[in-house]
A and B are shown apart, each in its own frame.
Chain A
């Protein structure tokens, strides 16, 4: 176990579902490998929600795909361990991973309008994981699909099961997608910006539903988003990612009350708050593409605190219980 991992809160008896250690995903390029995910560590327990936060292109989604074993060609997982209930997924064959996907771990996608096949009715798609993993025949899956649709609070589930995706609204579809993800009761759920494509009132409903399914099954939820408002509402712990690395991790209260890393602060300062008249601060520039060999703090070029010592990359160091920061220049 790497020393930089924050200790889990005492008294939490739920078992650890997922542990990711030093995960690296690279894409070959003529000028050296691109490090999309560059040494990420985290762990999630049953019933816990870990928020993975960061700008677009900082490696959040790639981390999720790596966990599922779906890194798109020509990318590959260069090193690390992904332990699901203690078993390293990176040592599994493609066939073994296929048996786990949808059964022991499931993904909820960003855009519900495109996550379901437009030419197939919703019901069979929701029941498909059950059939695929041999948990039910088609007839039984059909019945269970209706139950699942009912569980995610879709009105008239029987009719909806026969409806096609274009006949349903975005919020309804996202409910169906969630129903599909939890069909086999996987202990690990990964939600990749599940509310980004929805309007705010529907967002709140979907978050409530996610909390509900997570709670009822004591599933671990890896919640990927760039929306800090959603984070505050949803997550137990938060890991802030920048350029393929985790730069700060803490429980959700600490992140909002005592953000330490300058990137975390910049993110918070760029978030509008009701009642505040202060100008929003924007962070100039974009996250770098990390290619080949590099040295120094990756955030330094955009960092207001950057100095001489940032020529050497800092480690993720625990500053308080459960609060680790990757920065030289904050106390």
Chain B
């Protein structure tokens, strides 16, 4: 103790990290590199991320260029995944497709996470009648099959990528609301919430400053899982012709067009199918790994 006292005003550099870096620290301390699914998932997601970010650099051809090759050519050394019905390089379209998939996934999950978490935190914090009404409304939303709900939204907003993002975002609202509410219900019982009231903090300040930081880990895990689901939903909507419109290189619409040539040019459908599989599996593994690493330990570490 006395030795510590002499250290007194120390440098700013010794400052422990803030909350995001503490989540990171928790991950580091929990030897995440020994967690199989986390490592594999992170690696698979990294590939998708790199494709999306560096598509212009790594894609060998333009995703729209129909002149480079005859149509429906099988895979070759020049065109690793062959060409589609308009002679476009499939590998390039897959790489650019990662952009659309991630863009839709991130924005729609962002919408769902923000609105859902806000509703869930408010419901869990106030409880009572407000909680009951909000959660029952979300139960109604939740009870629609996802695709059906998306179709209804898209029908009213028109078939394009923006309405696909909104539709998928709406699907995620009840999922995030439930996760956030469950976390908030636990947090509000803690004495520090009462203590926050006793120093005169407003409800809004308590929800943002006390409840949200404590509810963050489960919301974070849900986010990764939701991204993989959003990728599937985007592909499904594009497959149905409701999402990305041709000639945009969306995995879902590529799958749809490739479907017609399955018998004699299977690579046209197989490539986007495998791309979807890869991305979804990657995010699922990452999410599972995060849940294992964060859930049991965060309570101790944070």
| Residues of A participating in the B interface, judged by any CB pair closer than 8 Å | 68, 70, 73, 97-103, 106-107, 109-111, 114-121, 128-129, 132-133, 155-159, 162-164, 166, 177, 180-181
Contacts and interface: CB of A to CB of B under 8 A. Distances in A.
Q: Chain B: interface secondary structure?
A: helix
4 nearest interchain CB pairs? Answer: A102-B199, A101-B200, A102-B200, A114-B191
A141 to B, nearest CB: 12
B198 A159 contact: no
B201 A114 contact: no
Nearest to B2: A155
Contacts of B214: 117-119
Interface residues of B, number: 34
Give the one of B16, B190, B200 with max A CB within 10 A: B200
Contacts of A117: 192, 196, 209-210, 213-214
A326 to B, nearest CB: 30
B192 A133 contact: no
A98 B195 CA distance: 12
Given A68-B198, A107-B195, A155-B2, 14 more contacts: A70-B194, A97-B200, A98-B201, A98-B202, A109-B198, A117-B192, A117-B196, A118-B214, A119-B19, A120-B209, A157-B8, A158-B8, A159-B7, A162-B14
Contact of A114 (B16, B190, B197, B200): B190
Contact of A132 (B5, B10, B16, B201): B201
A102 B302 CA distance: 26
B198 A155 contact: no
B73 to A, nearest CB: 56
A133 B216 CA distance: 27
B199 A128 contact: yes
B302 A111 contact: no
Contact of B200 (A118, A129, A164): A129
A118 B14 contact: no
Contact of A155 (B4, B16, B201, B202): B4
Contact of B194 (A109, A119, A121, A164): A109
Interface of B: 1-2, 4-5, 7-10, 14-16, 19, 22, 128, 190-192, 194-202, 205, 209-210, 213-214, 216, 300, 302
B196 to A, nearest CB: 8
B48 to A, nearest CB: 31
Contacts of A98: 200-202
B14 A180 contact: no
B122 to A, nearest CB: 16
Contact of A158 (B10, B191, B216): B10
A156 B7 CA distance: 7
Contacts of A155: 1-2, 4-5
B299 to A, nearest CB: 9
Nearest to B197: A70
B202 A73 contact: no
Contacts of A119: 19, 22, 213-214, 216, 302
A277 B210 CA distance: 50
Nearest to B7: A156
Contacts of B4: 155-156, 159
A114 B192 contact: yes
A119 B211 CA distance: 10
25 contacts: A70-B197, A97-B200, A98-B200, A98-B202, A101-B197, A101-B199, A102-B199, A106-B199, A109-B191, A114-B191, A114-B192, A115-B195, A116-B195, A118-B214, A119-B19, A119-B22, A119-B302, A132-B199, A155-B4, A157-B8, A158-B10, A159-B7, A162-B16, A180-B195, A180-B199
Contact of A120 (B10, B197, B200, B213): B213
Contacts of A99: 200
Nearest to A163: B16
B205 A132 contact: yes
A125 to B, nearest CB: 8
B56 to A, nearest CB: 40
Contacts of A133: 200
